[in-house]
């Protein structure tokens, strides 16, 4: 049986809980788990199930995938950068929820444009009217053969 680094998970959960300015009891109530059980997870004494991690992630408003990776449930090698980027965006206290969702949509659109798949479809209610459509020609200018901007056209006069 593979040994999991649940201590690292516990430290991460404690950090996220403190960033969210929640007490252990408040997070336990929000996640629907007991206060002693959550305390044991944070101290690295218990290995939580995927379901418990999902409840805790939802209560903390962070990515469940990040917790799965930290708990050793998901393979971290494949999409580590994407998971970490999403987690950082979702954990940023200076952004509101709408800003976080828009930023994640932009990030996902760039990944798709560059040939990388996403973690899942964007929910329709999150994407209405938020995607910027790239233009083939910059406003007031043209593109050169290599795709760079040639700048605005000047007229003689």
- The angle subtended at Cα 68 by Cα 66 and Cα 73, nearest 5°, is 145
**Residue 94, CA atoms < 13 Å, CB-side half-sphere:** 1
pLDDT tens string, the chain, 157 residues long: the values are 333 445 589 999 999 999 999 999 999 999 999 999 999 999 999 999 888 999 999 999 988 888 888 888 876 655 667 778 888 888 888 999 999 999 999 998 998 888 776 444 343 333 334 444 343 434 444 444 555 454 444 455 5
Cβ distance 40 to 33 under 8 Å?
no
> What is the Cα–Cα distance from 8 to 11, expressed in whole angstroms?
5
Beta carbons of 141 and 150 less than 8 angstroms apart = yes
């Amino acid at each position: 049986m593979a040994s999991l680094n649940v201590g690292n998970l516990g430290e991460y959960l404690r950090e996220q809980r403190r960033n969210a300015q929640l007490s252990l009891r408040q997070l336990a109530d929000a996640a629907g788990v007991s206060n002693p059980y959550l305390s044991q997870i944070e101290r690295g004494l218990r290995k939580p199930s995927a379901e418990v991690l999902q409840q805790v992630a939802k209560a903390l408003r962070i990515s469940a995938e990040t917790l799965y990776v930290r708990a050793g449930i998901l393979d971290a090698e494949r999409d580590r950068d994407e998971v970490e980027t999403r987690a950082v965006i979702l954990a940023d206290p200076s952004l509101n929820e709408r800003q976080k969702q828009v930023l994640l949509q932009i990030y996902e659109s760039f990944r798709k444009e560059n040939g990388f798949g996403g973690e899942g479809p964007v929910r329709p209610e999150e994407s209405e009217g938020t995607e910027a459509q790239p233009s083939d020609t910059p406003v007031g200018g043209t593109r050169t053969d290599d795709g760079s901007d040639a700048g605005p056209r000047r007229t003689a006069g």
